[in-house]
Amino acid sequence: MKWILRPTLENKMIAVSERGLTSAQWSVYNTDTKRTRYSSEPTSDITAVTVVVDGFALLQKDTAGITSTATRSFTAGGMVFTQIDGRGNASTTVTDTAGRSLSVTDAAGNQPRVKKTCQALQLLVLRILQLRMTPLIMLKSVWTLWML
């Protein structure tokens, strides 16, 4: 005998406006870690859907029918997070094991500046203390690093 698991309803809310328009929101558990949230509005025939696994939204479709997806993969040094919008443009963020952004690449391939990690700033402060810099020189050094 093969067991078939059916989705389990988590919650459901139905709202009726003063004009008699009905909207609904509900969530179901598909598997142990996968939850799907639905939302319908009276202004659209399309039901919005969000698929969440372990608290991470993998797929989002709004009531206009625009779908965006996201993936994440874990590496020894942290996580790689990729998001693809409704037009197919992908942006990628690489983080360290503490969740700090190491690099960000937008859909055009640009890499805007990412703030330096706490470790780099700590090393700079230690170096400044070793060199016994005056406060003005120290401030210039921190500003220069921050602007890199």
State the pLDDT at residue 124: 63
Q: Which of 115, 119, 114, 113 is nearest to 97 (CA)?
A: 119
pTM of the complete model: 0.64
State the pLDDT at residue 78: 87
Per-residue pLDDT tens listing for the chain (148 residues): 455 556 788 888 999 989 999 999 989 988 778 899 999 998 889 999 999 998 888 999 998 899 999 999 998 888 999 999 989 999 998 888 888 788 888 888 887 765 555 556 666 666 666 666 555 555 555 555 554 4
CB 121 within 8 A of CB 127: no
State the pLDDT at residue 109: 82
State the pLDDT at residue 31: 77
State the pLDDT at residue 61: 94
For residue 73 the two structure tokens come to 């993969």
Which one-letter amino acid corresponds to residue 100?
A: R
Environment class of residue 43 by beta-carbon count within 10 Å: exposed (0-12), middle (13-18) or buried (19+)? exposed
